[in-house]
Amino acid sequence: MSGGNSNINANPSNLPPLPPNRPPVNKPTNLHLSGLTLRDHQNANIDGSLPYPTFGTRTGREMPPLNIKTNSIFEDYDISGVTLGLGINGKVVECTNKHTGLKYALKVLRDNPKARREVELHWRASDCKNIVSIIDVYENTYKGVPSLLVIMEW
């Protein structure tokens, strides 16, 4: 090709220098890298730890220990009996808080070590924005069977 622009293959050293007081470039801060955002990597402490919890928590704090209530669930909630779903580990029914009138989902699990582990892990993840929150957990008998009754947002 002849007669083209002669600056196409220009040497970068021929370009004028950038002004010294140039404003900072806005960097994207919402890129996810292994569960952490770019802002997390930029703000990491010298040892690599982060100055605050991550992974999309709603409140930015660690969940307190799980407190399983032993009083009757019927003191605090009305259970409608309307089935919202059936899962491999239990049935989910609708319930209403007697004090606030808010509706929740009640998951009924047979009380055993596997169910307790499920509830504990769910509680730990309950503050994440993409996980259904646990409101209360009761250790009661439900229809004559020792059960864990898990009140969740709906």
pTM tops 0.85, yes or no: no
pLDDT in tens, 88-130: 777 899 999 999 999 999 999 999 999 999 899 889 888 888 8
Domains, the chain, ranges and CATH?
28-57 (no CATH), 68-152 (3.30.200.20)
* CA gap 33, 18 in Å, rounded: 31
Q: List, as own/partner pairs, every contact residues 124-131 make where C-beta atoms lie below 8 angstroms and the sequence separation is at least 24, other chains included.
A: 124/63, 126/63, 127/57, 127/58, 127/59, 127/61, 127/62, 127/63, 128/55, 128/56, 128/57, 128/58, 129/56, 129/57, 129/58, 130/56
Q: Which amino acid is at 76?
A: D
pLDDT in tens, 27-43: 444 444 444 444 444 44
